[in-house]
Amino acid sequence: MVLRLIAFLPTALAQAQAPSWELMKAETTASFRGLSVVNDRVIWGSGTRGTVIRSTDGGTTWSVDSLPNGATFDLRGIHARSDLVAHVAATAGRIWKTTDGGKTWSLKFQAADTSMFLDAIVFRNDREGMALGDPMGGRFVILVTRDGGENWSLAPDSSRPAALEGEAAFAASGTSLVLAGSRFGWIGTGGSASRVFRSVDSGATWLPYNSGIPARTGTGGVFSVALADSLHGVVVGGDYERPDSATGTAAVTADGGLTWKASARFPRGYRSGVAARRIDADHVLAVAVGTTGSDLSRDGGQTWSPLDTMAFNAVQFAPSGVAFAVGARGRIGRVSIR
């Protein structure tokens, strides 16, 4: 009997220590795809019906605000720079800014062409930012600001990647565009081609590379890009019309995006969002989320194991290592992974 108890203890201990999502409550049923984690205490999210949520206490409590006359807008992208300053991008080619924590919003960009579809918005620093949109006229839309988001303009053709016929970006988590440092940027695409565009000159030029995730016309490819540092990164995706298919749902790079290699063991299905962080000199932790659950990797995305079956759309790490995620019907979660 003693031997049986000893044999059981490690299994029970492992189960007790296994990370799982803790659900948090915001008074809204909006669906969220935009997420911006400023620090361990300040977290913003954005979603349907022009809804924006914000926490300033690490996710314990949340405020819910809406854009004025924004009920028809789907805010797929958000980037916050503090507890007061944030930008949101609507799929309908509009960008708003708040400087008072979401109490009031001012429209900073409205596309003259109503077919513009924005996928993501990211700031490199307090002054320089970019917004990514689906191709128009054969090139991806890239809007740029150099004054903290007060004014936005379309980048010149030479600074907008040329798209193949049927190629686009996905707005499933607002993370098809990533900027890092003063020079680097990555864009993930899908549809007829599944590629990662890389810039090393602050977005002046972009070069395409095979993503390691198969292209699936119209419904699949790269949905999210995450970088742990300037060399190591992860992309996730798949086919949102085949959410249970695990084949070709993640790939990794160790050379800054020049080459991407399919994971040795994939997440369990289509994944719309991924976050990555370096935990020491030898290890990168990654979390991927999607409509069929979430997965965890402790080797930089090379192999994945199940984390939870709860559905989320987007995920990001706070500096402490706590991961936050948002999803449909007002769902918000956090998990601490050691």
For residue 242, give its domain range.
Answer: 110-336
Give the distance from CA 224 to its chain's centroid: 5
Task: Identify whether the C-beta of residue 120 lies closer than 8 Å to the C-beta of residue 76.
Answer: yes
In a domain, residue 303? The reply is: yes
Which residues have CB under 8 Å from 4's CB, separation 6+? none
- Res 324: pLDDT: 98
In a domain, residue 104? The reply is no
Quote the pLDDT of residue 218: 83
Residue 45 in any domain: the answer is no
What distances in angstroms separate CA 54 from CA 46, 84, 259, 320, one per listed residue? Answer: 9, 10, 37, 18
Write the pLDDT tens digit of every residue in 44-63. Answer: 999 999 999 999 999 999 99
C-alpha–C-alpha distance, residues 225 and 299, integer Å: 16
Q: Is 192 part of any domain?
A: yes
Does residue 230 sit within a domain? Answer: yes
* pLDDT tens digits, 89-127: 999 999 999 999 999 999 999 999 999 999 999 999 999
End-to-end CA, the chain = 33
Contact 189, 163 (CB under 8 A): yes
User: Which CATH number characterizes residue 318's domain?
Assistant: 2.130.10.10
Write 69-72 long-range contacts (CB < 8 A, 24+): 70/105
What CA–CA distance (Å, rounded) separates 296 from 276? 10
Collect the ranges in the chain with pLDDT lower than 50.
Answer: 1-16
pLDDT of residue 1: 38
237 touches 190 (CB < 8 A)? yes
Helix (H, G, I), strand (E, B) or coil at 49: helix
| pLDDT for the residue numbered 16 | 45
| 50/14 Cα distance (integer angstroms) | 42
Whether residue 153 is contained in a domain is answered as: yes
The span from the CA of 3 to the CA of 1, in Å, is 5
Asked whether residue 131 is assigned to any structural domain, the reply reads: yes
Q: Name the maximum alpha-carbon separation found in the chain.
A: 76
| CA dihedral of 289, 328, 53, 80, whole degrees rounded to 10 | 40
Angle at 109 between CA 75 and CA 186, to 5 degrees: 65
Domains identified in the chain, total number: 1
Q: Residue 164 corresponds to which tokens in the numbers above?
A: 């193949």
Looking at the domain assignment, is residue 33 inside a domain? Answer: no
- For residue 162, what are the β-bridge partners? 139
Both tokens assigned to 283: 């290890």
Q: Look up residue 101 and give its amino acid.
A: G
Total residue length of the chain: 338
Res 17: pLDDT: 62
Q: What does the alpha-carbon distance between residue 285 and residue 83 come to, in Å, rounded to a whole number?
A: 26
